[in-house]
Chains A and B, each alone.
Chain A
Amino acid sequence: MAEVGAASLAPAARNPLGRWLVYALLTGFAAFYLVPLLVVVLNSVRTAQDIGATSVIGWPRELALDNFSRAWGSYCIAQSCTGIAPYMWNSFLLVVPATVISTLLGALNGYSVALWRFRGDNWVFGLVTLGVFLPEQMKLIPWALVLRDLGLTNTISGLVLIHVVQGISFTTLFCRNYYVAIPAELLKAARIDGAGYFRIFWRIVLPLSPPILIVTVIWQFTHIWNEFIYGVTFTSGTQQPVTAALIALSVSVSEAPQYGVQSAAVLLAALPTLLVYLFGGKYFLRGLTAGAVK
């Protein structure tokens, strides 16, 4: 598949009316895609009275910047008034180790499966990648039992374990499909020089890996940060990652909605992955295409 960045072959429309229509449509769609983001950003600096008097769509009359400090540090979620800070922290404690470990193991796995043939290697690879398709619902009961037996129920470590094991399916798939294209001559030469499994990995494969490792890290980071079902199933209260806490927040305030503070909370929770997207968009798209099978 060609890179999306490839040049367009489409004939440039000759009549200005057609050009105008193209830009009008594109701008219209861009507005539709941006409205939800814009609404959250604007609401995050509006007061509750302002939003109550008009609607969730509107310009701020006065800047209520304290929405952010309240959302971060003092807002009440399910009877604990700590803001989303501890939940953001939980998410980071979950995402960083899970991303690093699953990427490293995926690189090793991908290297083993792609470059060292063994009997049944295709079967092993096929089964590993089946994990990409298996719906979470098939894994909930077994994970509940595994976490219980390991004493990891309602801990961030438990979620790290889940995301490492599940993540291996994706990271192995990404890395294997990348390593398979490493030219045979390169490895043959290294083997003749007496290099073994580890040295070939360190000296040859790893230095070639940065592009795929960036894709893998971005994919895992976004995926685990945004993940919801394991967080909400296996953790509760102050142990929850931020996605699960956001749902608790919207449930707990359904009587007296605080859209301003909630918007600030939603924005803060979405910020890490948005920043990753902003700075690594190209790699994000590659991962999305490679992991599209999910």
Chain B
Amino acid sequence: MFGIPEPWWSVVRAVVWALFIIIFLAVNAIVAVWLERKVSGKIQRRIGPQRVGRPIGWAQTIADVFKLLVKEDVRAEATDKWVFLLAPAIPFAAITLMFLVVPWGKNLIPLNLNIGLLFVVAVTSFEVLGLFMAGWGSNNKWALLGAMRTAAAMISYELPMVLAILAVGMTAGSLNMNDVVNAQSRVPFILIQPVAFLIYYIASLAEANRTPFDFTEAESELVAGANIEYSGLRWAFFFLAEYGSLVGTSAIAATLFLGGWRGPILPGPVWFLIKTYLLVYVAMWIRWTLPRVRIDQLLDFGWKFLLPLALADIAVTGLVLALL
């Protein structure tokens, strides 16, 4: 294509997509942090940032990024060197990989995998590995506590999440993300699978470390959680991954349940972004309204409520599909 011979075209395509995803995640972190500050300000009857980049404070997060870039890279003596240094890269890498299979529009998908849904589930689990490495490698008791919480919570929210995604796969009849979007050409799956949507959304809040499930970094309990020993650029990578995770899970939810890039008049990528950031906004709304649940309560909720509900949802879906 464009006069480039085939093997090289694939390389160019891969590089362009990779750059696009990384830049998108970086810009997203800047925009989402700004949005979070403004939304929390609105909810809490304050104004939020306004001085840097008058009148809406648009440059505040950019200034914060520069601050993080020039900070000293601190590493305590007793840390496990390589584990500590490598940990920040992993969550960010997992999020970047996840965006490989997210469709932005008709034929606008970085990698058209026929097991796209499975791929999403597989790579997002790596995020927890990075947090656990950070907690273990920092050699700090509070960080270790945060890491243990992360590992314990991972199992209990990923299972219902996978089952909710499976219900979507069954309804669409395919695990390919393009097919899932095409199957929603008439009715978005949120109307056909409302229970699966709720399960997925609740689990995705836990996945993205958002209130009410933000106990992995629970400021008032663990001070900062697994990344307590990090500062400067390394900390920024955790932050980037956290907001990437928020937009990533919202993007998956938009694709699986809200019809993805499909919508009237406006082009596909615009609809995709509108739907994604709508879900991001809802997550922020929830964060600034609710208290945090305790870890054992989340585990109870995951195992005793979400999991049976997801299983029942799959059973009902299977039954309906068999009868139709």
A and B from one complex? no
Residues of chain A at the chain B interface (Cβ within 8 Å): none
Residues of chain B at the chain A interface (Cβ within 8 Å): none
